[in-house]
Amino acid sequence: MPNFKNRTLFESDNLPILLGMDSETVDLIATDPPFKKDRKFQGIGPSEGQTMKDTWSWHGDPPGSPGQTKKSDIHKEWLDHTREHWPALNEVIEAAYTAHSPSMAAFLAFMSVRLIEMHRILKPTGSLYLHCDPTANSYLRLMLDAIFGVKQFRNEIVWSYQGTGQPKNAFKRKHDTILFYAKSPNAYFSDEGSSEPISDFSKSKYTKEDEKGRYKDIRHPDGSIHRQYIRSHQRMRDVWDIPIINAMAKERVGWTTQKPLRLYSRIVKASSNEGDMVLDPFCGCATTCVAAEQLDRQWVGIDQSPKAKTIVKNRLENEVRKSMAWSEQVTISHDAPRRTDVRGLLPPTFSLPPAPKSRRRGRRKQSGAPTYDRNEMRVHLALRDGACCQGCGMTPPTMPGSLSPELEYLDIDHIKPRADAGGDNEKNLCLLCPPCNRRKAHIWTLAQLRQANQRTKKMLDKSKLKKSLENV
């Protein structure tokens, strides 16, 4: 059972929501994330006030610098997790930094942790449809190969449409790409939902007819003749000619990146059954949610814009059933669901599942680094300092049948940040709970973290903290 309700719209950054969702609870993810267009979008009409930033910075401007305009769009823990658990994913980000730009690497770092979580919450029979355009589709496909596996790639769907524009030195770019990946070889795919009628041209080849229908005779090299009957439908192509929404269409709500309902209805039909759970982590004006509701699927949407809740209720009333009180049917939430499928009672963290063994590679040993592996280092630091978080005093839970705390709930971090000339030697390492690790980031020292926890009343047990660690 999912730990979230049908018809829920989360008004939030999608990462904490995804981290809070139980594993293998979603049948289909169909989403239209930022495209890395390096511009800002503004809504019009009913969506006036909607804004979307699609600009990305790896380093940003130095904090406090005169005229600071950019902040970094990445976080240290994102990169730490991809380096440790998904080395192939990390190499894609590094390659983008070198081959394209730091801003592309920042965009991919943003997407990577979210795609990892999307993969986790999909059922083994589930699928992902990721909408993008030529700006970043090649890098996103490499990332999905690293997360889902090359063999789970199904299609690179081309959404072709008409539009204005007359480039001087290239062909008109009038298509988007939808990357279709399955969670496993057993992913659901509907024959009915992925078929289309036979074209008139194909029908013209079947010139004969008997009591079984129209047919043509196929002569083989050995002289034998095989009779082939025409089918009413055939498998749909991976090039979809669906018009964009014109300015006067009733469907248009003024959302800057709105996509046709017909496009997402086709996806929902092809990769889900009635009653299945459909998720859109970048739901915007809720096209995926409306398509799911029209086709009798369950749905959950996530979007940061305060306008999203008004748009989704209006669209459900106008495009699904006017008689329903959608303000009562749709749940608006700002809080992440609490996972029930993990051991312990801690809030969701960046403790992502380890990658398959085939993806693990030896990490380059840094100068002065300890010879312990990470598990041995946790034990070593717990024996030295105590089996608790040295930022707030939290002691991890003890599992039934065990006599010692579960150290996997503690992260290894630097007492003095590497950005502040802190080393990787064991004297500069300590154990932190994931919330303290995120709070400290690469900015504070351990002493500054403790002061902040004390000031914000997040200190759990000050008596467990080892005082000498502040002086390292």
The 10s digit of each residue's pLDDT in 405-445 is 788 889 999 999 887 778 888 888 999 999 999 888 888 89
**Which residues does 381 contact at the CB level (< 8 Å), separation at least 6?**
412, 426, 429, 430, 431
Task: Kindly report the average pLDDT of the chain as a whole number.
Answer: 84
SS3 (DSSP) at 199: coil
Tell me which DSSP letter residue 367 carries: T
The set of long-range contacts for 425-428, using a CB threshold of 8 Å and a minimum separation of 24, is: 425/368, 425/369, 425/370, 426/370, 426/372, 426/377, 426/380, 426/381, 427/472, 428/472
- What's the gap between Cα 330 and its chain centre? 23
Chain centroid to CA 274:
24
What whole-number distance in Å separates Cα of residue 111 and Cα of residue 114? 5
Q: Where would I find the beta strands (DSSP E) of 8-140?
A: 8-11, 26-31, 39-42, 51-54, 122-132
* Buried b / exposed e along 208-232 (16+ C-beta atoms within 10 A): eeeeeeeeeeeeeeeeeeeeeeeee
Maximum Cα–Cα distance for the chain, whole Å?
93
pLDDT at 116 over 60: yes
Instruction: Give the residue-averaged pLDDT of 346-355.
Output: 40
Cα 86 to Cα 16, 80, 261, 274, 354, distances in angstroms = 20, 10, 35, 35, 8
User: Can you give the pLDDT at residue 60?
Assistant: 58
pLDDT class for 358, splitting at 50, 70, 90? Answer: very low
Cα angle: 291, vertex 294, 298; to 5 degrees: 80
Q: How confident is the model at residue 372 (pLDDT cuts 50, 70, 90)?
A: low
Query: CA 24 to CA 22: how far, in whole Å?
Result: 7
Whether the predicted pLDDT of 91 surpasses 70: yes
Instruction: Detail the DSSP E strand segments found in 43-197.
Output: 51-54, 122-132, 153-160, 175-182, 195-197
Residue-wise pLDDT tens digits, 138-148: 999 999 999 99
> Which residues on neighbouring strands pair with residue 290, listed in sequence order?
none
Q: Are 373 and 364 in contact (CB under 8 A)?
A: no
134: left (phi over 0), alpha (psi -120 to 50) or beta: alpha
Q: Does the structure show a pLDDT above 70 at 70?
A: no
Rounded-to-integer distance, Cα 54 and Cα 256, Å: 12
Sheet containing 122-132: give its strands across.
Answer: 239-241, 153-160, 175-182, 122-132, 26-31, 277-280, 298-303, 8-11, 331-333
Query: Nearest-CA neighbor of 140 among 89, 87, 94, 81?
Result: 89
* Structure confidence at residue 318 (pLDDT): 87
Percent of the chain with pLDDT over 90: 47
Confidence of residue 305 (pLDDT cuts 50, 70, 90): confident
For 243, the token pair is 């018009």
DSSP of 99-115, one letter per residue?
A: HT-HHHHHHHHHHHHHH
Contact 215, 209 (CB under 8 A): yes
Least confident of 174-183, 249-258, 336-345: 336-345
